[in-house]
Amino acid sequence: MTFVQLIECRTSRFDEMNRLIDTWVERTGGKRTATHALVGKDRSDGAHIVEMVEFPSYEDAMRNSNLPETDEVFRGMVALCDEMPAFTDLEIVREERPAEAAVRRLLGTLSGAAELGPLNDLIDEDCHSHDPINPQTTIGLDAIRREFRMWRDAFDSAFTIEDVLAQDDRACARWSWSATHEGEFLGIAPTGRRVTMTGMTLVRFGDNGKIAELWWQHDQLGLLQQLGALDELES
């Protein structure tokens, strides 16, 4: 379970503390177990500094704390603080990742044979979608839904999400896709073949939290080869 450590202190020497943290990061390269770290300054009290450090688990946090460099930086931190830093250990019991959830919902919606919903609560009306199978950018929710339906009419398919990474207003999913070719696709008559494909989808979110732009990358050549569309060219 994810573990977060909060470190609070008071200091009028933040620039020196910042340099101390930089030195510690450099010296512990390859040995740190933290996955994410934030340092915040209280807007109403500039001397109040809070550092939030995320670890995969409590045990990883303890391994990080036991590094000789960690003990050294702690002693340096104490010297720069007006009082002893306070530590709070938090086991995360609830976590929300809206960007990741939206990407998972999108790919889940595109799987299966159920009727494609309106998607207006997920995708912005002016969304832009970039797919290498289409030489032009698809603009607007209605046009994007037609493009989705084109794929769904041609394939009984499902996405398997391998990884999702999110940062700021963007999220990226690496996925694998398996399908049965049951309808016409790019002029290719239904073959009944089972096909697979790998790819990635990058999503940008707008200020309203909806998907504002999509970039698709997938093995289009491999898909066409599995459908037999390249047989004549290869022979």
Identify the pLDDT of residue 46. Answer: 93
Residues 114 and 36 in one domain: no
Give the Cα separation of 176 and 198 in Å (integer).
4
Mark residue 186 as left, alpha or beta (left: phi above 0; alpha: psi -120 to 50; beta: remaining).
left
Identify the pLDDT of residue 90. Answer: 94
Q: Tens of pLDDT along 129-144? A: 999 988 899 999 999 9
Within 10 A of 1 (CB to CB), how many other CB atoms are there? 9
- Secondary structure of residue 135 in the 3-state scheme: coil
Residues 156 and 212 in one domain: yes
Binning the chain into helix, strand and coil, the percentages to the nearest 5 are 30, 40, 30
> For 7-17, what is the mean pLDDT?
94
Structural domains of the chain, count:
2
More confident residue, 116 or 175: 175
> For 20-47, what is the mean pLDDT?
90
Identify the pLDDT of residue 73. Answer: 87
Q: What secondary structure letter does DSSP report for 108?
A: H
Contact 144, 138 (CB under 8 A): yes
Last residue of a domain, one of 91, 116, 141: 91
Contact 36, 68 (CB under 8 A): no
Residues 121 and 194 in one domain: yes
pLDDT band at 25 (very low <50, low <70, confident <90, very high): confident
Task: Name the CA dihedral angle for 24, 28, 31, 32, rounded to a multiple of 10 degrees.
Answer: 20
Domain span at 87:
3-91
Residues 54 and 102 in one domain: no
The kind and range of the H/E element at 69 are helix 68-80
pLDDT band at 230 (very low <50, low <70, confident <90, very high): confident
Residues 69 and 103 in one domain: no
Identify the pLDDT of residue 118. Answer: 87
Give the Cα separation of 233 and 56 in Å (integer).
51
Phi, psi of 25, deg, nearest 5? -60, -40
Identify the pLDDT of residue 1. Answer: 65
> For 52-58, what is the mean pLDDT?
93
Identify the pLDDT of residue 224. Answer: 94
pLDDT band at 113 (very low <50, low <70, confident <90, very high): low
Contact 159, 175 (CB under 8 A): yes
Last residue of a domain, one of 39, 60, 91: 91
pTM: 0.80
| Predicted confidence (pLDDT) at residue 234 exceeds the cutoff of 80 | no
Identify the pLDDT of residue 49. Answer: 95
| Predicted confidence (pLDDT) at residue 125 exceeds the cutoff of 90 | yes
Identify the pLDDT of residue 85. Answer: 94
Give the Cα separation of 80 and 20 in Å (integer).
10
| Predicted confidence (pLDDT) at residue 200 exceeds the cutoff of 60 | yes
